[in-house]
Amino acid sequence: MTTLDKIKRQIAENPILLYMKGSPKLPSCGFSAQAVQVLSQCGVPFAYVDILQNPDIRAELPKFANWPTFPQLWVEGELIGGCDIMLEMFQTGELQTLIKETAEKHKS
Model confidence pLDDT, tens digit, residues 34-65 = 999 999 999 999 999 999 999 999 999 999 99
Residue numbering of the annotated binding site for glutathione: 21, 58, 70, 83-84
pTM here? 0.96
Residue numbering of the annotated binding site for [2Fe-2S] cluster: 29
CA distance 36 to 15: 16
pLDDT at residue number 107: 83
Strands 47-50 and 72-75, by their bridges, are unpaired
Angle value at C-alpha 108, between 3 and 65, nearest 5 degrees: 25
The listed CATH number (3.40.640.10, 3.40.30.10, 3.30.70.270, 3.30.565.10) that belongs to domain 3-100: 3.40.30.10
First-to-last alpha carbon distance for the chain, in angstroms, is 27
